[in-house]
A and B are shown apart, each in its own frame.
Chain A
Amino acid sequence: MVMELESLDDIRKFIRGMSLLLESSDIPIATTPAEVVYKEDNMILMHYVPAVRKPRPVPILIVYALVNRYYILDLQPDKSIVRKLLDAGFDVYIVDWGYPSGSDRYLTLHDYVEGYLENAVEKVRELSRIGKITLFGVCQGGTLCAMYASLHPEKVKNLVTVVTPINFDTDEGLLHLWARSLDVDKMVDYYGIIPGDLLNVAFLLTDPVRVLIDKYVGLFERLDCDNDDEKCRRMNEETVSDFLRMEKWIYDSPDQAGEAYRQFIKECYQENLLIKNQMKIGGKSINLKNITMPLLNVMAEHDHLVPNSASKPLSGAVGSKDIKTLVFPTGHIGIFVGSKSQNEVCPRIAEWLAPRSLLDGEKKRRNRTGKKPKSERRSIESGDKSRRKKT
C-alpha cells in the first residue's frame, strides 16, 4: 500500500512537471538593461545602464569565454553577477563574442586579443574618459584577459580572473587529459569552424550520469507542491523556468573559429606554453611577468572543468605585488549562478575592487583629506548623463 502511494506521488510530480513544461513559453534571459556601444564583425560590446547615480570611475570590462555564451553572468535577476556589480556601484561593460560562422574560420587568437579585445578596451577607455580599466575575465575569457594584460599593462588598472585556466599541465581535469591526445590539426583542417555540438559532447562526458539523467530527475523531484495551490504553482513555475534558463545556456555553445581553437589547444592544453612565458600571438611574446597591476584570482574549490591546479599558478606567475587569491566552495558553474555567487562571491569581488576603482589622483587626495575633489565630481556627473540610455 505504501509502495503504491509512493509511486502515485512520483507520477503526480511527473505530470505536474510535464504540464508546466507544456505551458512554458520562451524564457527571458539576460534582462539587465544595456546598450550596444560598439560592434565589430560578430563581436558586440555592451554597456549596462548604471544602477547608481555616480558609478565608480574605473569601469569593468567583463570578458567571457569563447566556448559558451556570456549571459550565464546575467542569467536571471536573482542570479546575476552583472547586477551585483552594478548594485555595488560599478560601471560595467561586457563583450559578447557572438556566433562564429564559416567566414570566421581563419580568425586567430591574435585577432581576438589584439583585434576585438583591444578595440573593446579602447572603446571603454574612450567612453569612460579614463586611461586604465578593470579587466574581468571569466574562464577562457580570463586567459584572453591575462594575455591582453601582459601585452598592454598600461591600459589595465586591475585584473580579475574567475575560474581561469593558466596552467594546463594537470591531470585533475578531464578536459586537460583528453585534450592531450586530440588531433586538433585534423579537426580544424576538416571542420574549419569547430561545431559547438562537438564541444557539448565533451562537456557532457565530463559527468554523463548527472548531466543526462540525474539533472532531469532532480527537476521533477523539486516540484513538491500541487499546481492547484496558486502559491505552489508559482513556485513550481519558477523552478521550471530556472531550470530551462540553465538548460538553454548549457546547450547554447557557439562554434569555434578554427585557427584560434587550434592555437589554444596546441599551445595551451598540449604544450602549456602560456605559464612558461613561451606563447606568442601575432609574433608578440606573452610574458605573464608583465602583469604588474593588482590581481584578484577567484577559484571554485570543486571545479571539475578548470581545476584549481590550472588556475592557482597565475598568482605566482605575474609580476604584481598586490595579489589576492579567493577560493569558494562551489563548482565551475555554481560560482556564477549558485546562492554563494550572490551572497559571497560577488560581495568579496566588489569589496576587493572598490578601493582599486578610484582614479589615481583621487586616491591620493582621498588619503590626505578623506573627500573627493569638486572638479572630479563634476566630470563624473557629466559622464553619467551622456551614458544614461535604456535599451
Chain B
Amino acid sequence: MPSMDEVNPEETRIEITHELFDLWLKAYGATYGRLMEMPAMGPMRERFTKLMKESPTSVNYFVTMMESMMDFQSVLLQAMIKTQEKMTSKIESDMESDLEGKPTKETFRDFYKVWFETYSETFKEFLKSEEFASDLSTLLSRSIDFQKNNRAILEETFLKPNDLPTKSEIDELTKEIYTLKRKMNELTSNLNKLSRRG
C-alpha cells in the first residue's frame, strides 16, 4: 500500500479504489495465485490441472465487477450532488409556497422533474464515454471467462463422470445437422432448377 507521503491528495476516491484492486491483484498473483499454478500430482492430476488453470478468471471477474460497481456508484454520487445543487437553486428562485411557507402541489412535481432530468443527463454523459464502453466490454469479457470456467468445472466434475452430454458435444452434433440441412437445401434447389429446365 502507498504510504501517506505518497498519496496524491488530488486523486479521487475512485482512483484510489482502482489502485487498491491493482495492488490486491498483484498480491494475489504473488501468493495464492502461485499456489493455483503449481503443477498437480497424482491420479487426478489432469483434471485438477485443467480446473486450476482457469482459477484466475474468478479473481479477475471479481475485481472487474467491484471496479465497475465503484464506477457506477461514483456516477450515482455525481448525479446526487448535481440534483441537490439544482434543487437548492430552484427552491431559492421560483418555487411556489403556501402562506405558511410550505411547498405546494406543483413543488413535488418540479422536484421529481429536476431529479429525473439531472439523473438522466448525468447517466447519459457517463454512458457515452469511451471509458464506459471499454469497461463494459471488459466486464462482459471477464464475466464470460468466469462462466466458461464454471461450465468447465461442471463438465469435469459432474457431466463427464456421469456420462452426460456436454455443451461441446451438443455443439458438434448441431454443426453436423446444420451442415447436412444446408447441403440438402442446396441439392433440393438445384434439383428444382433442373426440373424446371427439363
Contacts and interface: CB of A to CB of B under 8 A. Distances in A.
24 contacts: A2-B98, A3-B102, A6-B104, A102-B170, A103-B177, A105-B171, A105-B174, A107-B178, A115-B185, A174-B127, A177-B130, A177-B133, A178-B133, A178-B137, A181-B133, A183-B141, A186-B141, A190-B144, A190-B147, A190-B148, A191-B144, A206-B127, A207-B124, A209-B119
Contacts of A207: 120, 124
A38 to B, nearest CB: 15
Given A3-B102, A115-B185, A209-B116, A102 B144 contact: no
Interface in A88-128: 102-103, 105-107, 111, 115
A107 B182 CA distance: 10
B134 interface: yes
Q: Which 4 pairs show the lowest CB-CB distances between chains A and B?
A: A181-B137, A106-B178, A209-B120, A6-B105
Interface stretch (A43-51, A66-74, A210-218, A310-318): A210-218
Secondary structure call for the B interface: helix
Contacts of A181: 133-134, 136-137
A192 interface: yes
Contacts of A208: 123, 127
Secondary structure call for the A interface: helix
A217 B128 CA distance: 25
A187 interface: yes
Interface string B124-157: 1001101001101100110011011000000000
Contacts of B170: 102
Given A183-B140, A214-B116, A3 B103 contact: yes
Contacts of B104: 2-3, 6
Nearest to B118: A209
A174 B136 CA distance: 12
A99 to B, nearest CB: 16
Given A6-B105, A209-B120, A186 B171 contact: no
Interface in B93-118: 98, 102-105, 108, 112, 116
Given A106-B174, A190-B148, A217-B112, A205 B127 contact: yes
B175 interface: yes
